[in-house]
Amino acid sequence: MSDPIHIRLANQIVDTLKSICNHDINYIDMQGKIRASTDASRIGDYHLGGLEAIRSGENIRITEEKPGSGMRKGINMPITHHGEIIAVIGITGEVEEVEKYAYLAQHITQLLLREHELDRKMMNRREQTAHIIHRLLNNERIPEEYLNSVLKQNHIDSADGLWQTAAVRVNPRCNSKNLSLLEPRISQAFEQTGSCIYTFRYPNEYILMTKGDPAGLRSFAEKYGDLLRIGIGTREKLTRQHLSYQAALLAVKSLPAGKNCIMFDDLDLEILLAEVSGTTADAYVKRFLGPLSEEDCRILDAYFRSGMSLKKTAEELFLHKNTLQYRLNRIREKSDYDPRVFREAVVLYTAMKLCEIGG
């Protein structure tokens, strides 16, 4: 069979075994060539003892060095994987000394092989999942058998039911150290939503598609408010997640100041305002809020959040009702719009919302 051991893994094997027995270790491929060794001078040499171990399937003990043969004292052990010999591990030294490490060396090598195989399977699963998500986001047709296979790998029975897509945007200023700490926590938060698939999209976006409940992402977002922003889309069939993704992106774009997670279903006016161009939004805000001070905007914010109640606004801002009336009159004089008149209040409220969306 072809050699399944990458050179990096071969080096890991010889270095690991060297640390245990303190003898030089050789990894010998199926052609009898030393591919990795703790004795760098031997890499690339042919090893007749290794070839003999491959052909016989038994440990080969070399008690005498044979000049010109590439063999030194030691033991050469065939390594089997899935019932087939795939390589030979050689330990250099007096046979009586190194032979006691033979079983341990074979066992450790097989453990490293299994670990490598699991990592490779996990990588294949991640690549296939990323491919499926990419095609779903682009509304591309996916063969049902292939889709079900990938879902099964992710422990999901079927594509039935309604799914939601969440887009997690990591702050571009997040350094590599913070990102490496954040990534496993994002994966853990995704897994906690229930039946799901997810992937990372370069340069700074994680995509989750779940049949479970993504509402738990809110509490996760609260912990990492400076590092990420999360938008959660609409519930759709799995094959229509491109629509949910677009809704999730709109939700991210509509996030008001001070928040970093929102569901599309929580939006109302923001659905329209998020589509307003930056230039238009800036012009609108400048026209209607430009004449106002920060204190004026703070009063408007509290006034609109209270449902335009003078009593509640005054209580929140610790102002006398007459003082609040005076401030609202000043806002009317500065902006030419009276926040106590519904139609004119809508104009000011819209400007405030555009300010929030623009961050």
Same domain, yes or no, for 310 and 251? Answer: no
Which of 117, 145, 173 is the last residue before a domain boundary?
117
Residue 124 placed within a domain = no
- Locate all alpha helices (DSSP H) within the chain, ordered by sequence: 7-21, 48-56, 95-98, 102-137, 144-153, 176-191, 217-223, 241-253, 269-273, 278-289, 294-305, 310-317, 321-335, 342-357
Q: pTM score, two decimals?
A: 0.59
**Do residues 338 and 316 share a domain?**
yes
**In this predicted structure, what is the pLDDT of residue 70?**
62
C-alpha angle with apex 171: 166 to 175, nearest 5 degrees? 130
Q: If you average pLDDT over every residue of the chain, what do you get?
A: 89
Rounded distance between C-alpha atoms, residue 313 and residue 319, angstroms: 8
Is 89 in the same domain as 15? yes
Identify the pLDDT of residue 295.
Answer: 96
Average confidence (pLDDT) over 171-182: 78
Residue pLDDT, tens place only, 330-359 = 999 999 999 999 999 999 999 998 888 765
Domain hosting 205: range is 160-273
Judge contact between 36 and 13, C-beta under 8 A: yes
Which of 256, 273, 290 is at the close of a domain? 273
Once rounded to an integer, what is the mean pLDDT over residues 223-245?
Answer: 93
**Among 66, 95, 117, residue at a domain's last position:** 117
Answer whether residue 250 is part of any domain.
Answer: yes
CATH number at residue 223: 3.30.70.270
290 and 328, same domain (yes or no):
yes
Tell me which of 66-70, 96-100, 308-312 is least confident.
66-70
Q: Which comes out higher in pLDDT, residue 247 or 271?
A: 247
pLDDT greater than 70 at residue 228: yes
Instruction: State how far Cα 152 lies from the chain centre.
Output: 20
Higher pLDDT: 69 or 78? It is 78
For the segment 8-20, the average pLDDT, to the nearest whole number, is 90
Place 8 in a pLDDT band, splitting at 50, 70 and 90. Answer: confident
- Say if residue 168 is in the same domain as residue 269: yes
| pLDDT at res. 272 | 85
pLDDT at 271: 80
Pair 296, 268 in one domain: no
* pLDDT band, residue 195 (cuts 50/70/90): very high
**What is residue 2's predicted lDDT score, i.e. its pLDDT?**
43
Between 154 and 356, the higher pLDDT residue:
154
Classify burial at 143, counting beta carbons within 10 Å of its beta carbon; exposed 0-12, middle 13-18, buried 19 or more: exposed
Structural domain includes residue 336: yes
Give CA–CA dist 268/292, Å, rounded.
26
Same domain, 204 and 246: yes
Structural domains counted in the chain: 3
**Given a cut of 50, is residue 1 above it in pLDDT?**
no
Sequence length of the chain is 359
